[in-house]
Amino acid sequence: MITEECQITLNTGLRGVAIASTRISDVDGDAGRLIYRGYRIEDLAEQTTFEETIYLLLYEKLPSRSELKQFKERLSREREIPAEVIAALRNCPSNSLPMDILQAGVALLANHDPDIQISDPDASERIAIRLIARMATLVAAWDQIRNGRSPVSPNTELDHAANFLYMLSGKIPDPETARFMDICLVLHAEHSFNASTFAAREVASTRAHMYASVSAAVGSLSGELHGGANARVMQMLLKIGDINRVASYIQEELDAGRRIMGLGHAVYNVDDPRAKILEPISRILGDKTGDPLWHTLSIAVKDQTCAAFKQRKGIDIPVNVDFFSASVYYYMKIPVDLFTPVFAISRIAGWAAHVIEEQFGGASSKPVLYRPESEYIGDYCGPDVCTLTPIESR
């Protein structure tokens, strides 16, 4: 029964519905603006590191030099994952989906956390730091294991981004590539109440622990319409393969009513500000590796798709963060099916901040537990309930 205090307003997909307040980030889709705790994403990407951004998201301020040093040391100490988790990964089929492995790995890590049964802000902060530190290790370890190799131990002398690339390849990356990876992590760290963050907050609202909340977020991110989009972009570029095939490919896809991945966004009505930062990185890496094709194809696909939308529908279609991150990761020799796990390696910072805010922040003007209503449309027996016929007479 719906009371006067709880009237249903049907809004499929929750588009335009503010479900809670937050101090963490804001997305202005009309202006193409993204801010973390008051700071523009452009400034954070240019002037800070991923570790500084994590600190900002968790503690609501940028760290001093001494605070950053202590924080980086703390993160690096937490990178190792328990031997029991490595053993569990070794028992998984080598063709398992990486996001399924990551989701399972997050749940397994809960069994080894000394703070798992403590529910207070300090314990949640400690859990957050462990999870942020270990997500990269999980992803890199799985890639080594599925290829029949032993995981590469974390290098405590390297920053978070450089260490991930090192664990993935066994080689210390050059400073420029490491810096570009760091920028990618900054750009993907947070994006308000997107699908995976909402999943994390919804689970957190039940007072489940952070590992349960993050596991739900990883599951949400695995979908091709959310975190899986950048992998789909790269698969598209690989399928096109030649600049002369771009026009025919776009025409065929649009004529068939299919999407061009990486273009269009649920929130942005103009180009995603993060895409503007990633595009020149893709170009630089293309030149650096001597293989500019993937950047060249990306530009051609973007330009020709935008022109087609303008001609066919009279609208501008924005570019989102997934579009250029695809070629950037490919240039870094990250396997395509790890693109979404790399997204999670970054977004864990935002997820953790949201779980803490949901459970302890006091900033949200909503009931404690998320419990939306639904509109029942199952008119199986007209306006009345169905009469149940005993099984002997059916």
Catalytic residues: 265, 322
Enumerate residues 6+ apart whose C-beta is below 8 A from 276. none
Tokens 């595009």 sit at which residue? Answer: 279
DSSP-derived 3-state class of residue 25? strand
Q: Is 222:140 a contact under the CB 8 Å cutoff?
A: no
Enumerate residues 6+ apart whose C-beta is below 8 A from 314. none
- Cα→Cα distances 393→53, 329, 385, 389, 390, Å: 66, 62, 19, 6, 6
> Which amino acid is located at 353 in the chain?
A
At 249, list the tokens. 């490919």
Give the single-character DSSP code of 63. Answer: P
Tokens 């095939």 sit at which residue? Answer: 245
Which of 189, 191, 354, 183 has its CA nearest to residue 272? 191
DSSP-derived 3-state class of residue 380? strand
Q: Is 249:17 a contact under the CB 8 Å cutoff?
A: no
Longest dimension (CA), the chain: 78
